[in-house]
Structures are given as structure tokens and as C-alpha cells.
Amino acid sequence: MAEPLAPDVALPAETTQDERTIAVLAHVLQLVGGWIAPLVIFLVKRQSRFVSFHALQVLFLQLVYLVIVVCLVIFWISGILLTILASHASNHSPPPAVFVILPLFWLGFMGMWVATIVVAIAFSVKAGRGEWAEYPVLGRWARQILKIGPGGGPMQS
């Protein structure tokens, strides 16, 4: 015989197959559309707590991705400009730092891209199962903004 749950334990909110499918799309479509598809899904399916939770997490991930890309581009451009200025001050030979900075930028960008693919696949599988899986840190932010408790239940005060 199963023991009854304590009154303070929230049961996970039930999800429909349509909600799970749209949540999967929010995760997967970020790979081809960046933040646009998750934003559209978030705005259109706002009434579904499950879909809006997953779509908002993807939007936060894309925002973090954008900030990191901007920082990498600034690092790359400033590094190239500094090496060009240093080479003009010396002997006009090609700056060797350019050949170091470009591969570092490329590795950083490709590493982020691979990490985004892995996260998108892992969390789309979880969303397809109907799990309220949270991205580290970003999932907690999404729950706070949407006022959703763990497992999709109401927020505990």
C-alpha cells in the first residue's frame, strides 16, 4: 500500500502531449533560430506553465550565449588591434598574436556551440518526457519569474 504524501509536498503538474511537444520544439529550435523561436513559443503558449517554463529557460540560455559571444568578439577585435598597433611600432612583420587569438576565439565559439547542442538535446528529451527539468541557475530564475514551484506546482511562500 502506498503511503500518502505529506501535505507540503507538491505533486508535479500534469502535462499534455501537445505541451511536451511544444516544449521540445522550444529547446530544439534554438539550434536553428536562436532566441526567435523560443520567444514566439513563449508568447504564444503563455497559458501553459510547462511550455512557458521551458521556453523561458531557453531564452535565458540564449541571452547568456549572446553575452558570451559579444565578450569573445570584443576580446578578439581588441587583441587584433593591439597586436597590429604593436607590430607597427616595431618592424612591420605580421603580428604572431593574430594567429593565436583567432584560434582561441574559434575554439571558444565552437565550444559554446557544442555545449548549446548538448544542452538542447538533453533538455528536449527531458521536456518530451514531461519533466520539469531546470537548467542550473537559469531554471530557478525562470521559476521565480513565472511564479512556479518545483515540479510545476504553485510557488511556496
Cα distance between the two ends of the chain: 32
User: What is residue 9's predicted lDDT score, i.e. its pLDDT?
Assistant: 46
Model pTM?
0.78
Q: What is the pLDDT of residues 70-107, one digit of tens each?
A: 988 888 888 778 777 777 666 666 666 667 777 888 88
DSSP 64-130: HHHHHHHHHHHHHHHHHHHHHHHHHHTT-PPPHHHHHHHHHHHHHHHHHHHHHHHHHHHHHHHHHTT
